[in-house]
Amino acid sequence: MKKRAILFVCHGNICRSTMAESVFTQLARRRGVLSSLRIDSAATHPDELGNPPHYGTREKLAREGFALVPHRARLLTRRDGLEFDEILGMDAANLRDMRRILGPGCRARVALLPDECAQSHAIADPWYTGNFDETFDDVLSGCTALLDRLIRTEEV
């Protein structure tokens, strides 16, 4: 069986998307389906390319008992639209930029992570808000709902 490929995306790939990648990885490990998944994250803008996750992301994950996946910020590419099954952004600006970068040949499902749990608001960027607690709660809700859907529909 082909691994299901999931890509999380935010503006700089050092706060929200790396948090989602780490949370989703650990949730999948706990549920015994990690081996059937490929999980990664990327940025829509080059501001932080090559940088490690933000210290606030690292600290919040550690406080919540989630391991940080090894990561350096990278840019979303058109090729990602061919290699990933689902590409999930954190807010409307991410979604707009993702669609522009991925282009018309994208085969992936492109959506917002908050939509997975019928959340009525975007996942706020803690780079600006400073609120890593709120961001973590929203990311955890979205990742849990995403994994539940994939397991329920037998996609993993």
39 HSE (CA, 13 A, CB side): 26
Q: Can you tell me the distance from the alpha carbon of 106 to that of 99, in angstroms, rounded to the nearest whole number? A: 8
Q: Which of 10, 15, 40, 138 is catalytic?
A: 10
Is 15 catalytic? The answer is: no
Is 106 catalytic? The answer is: no
Q: Can you tell me the distance from the alpha carbon of 53 to that of 57, in angstroms, rounded to the nearest whole number? A: 6
Q: Which of 16, 80, 91, 138 is catalytic?
A: 16
Is 10 catalytic? The answer is: yes
Q: Can you tell me the distance from the alpha carbon of 28 to that of 149, in angstroms, rounded to the nearest whole number? A: 12
Q: Which of 40, 80, 125, 138 is catalytic?
A: 125
Residue 2 DSSP label: P
Residues involved in catalysis: 10, 16, 125
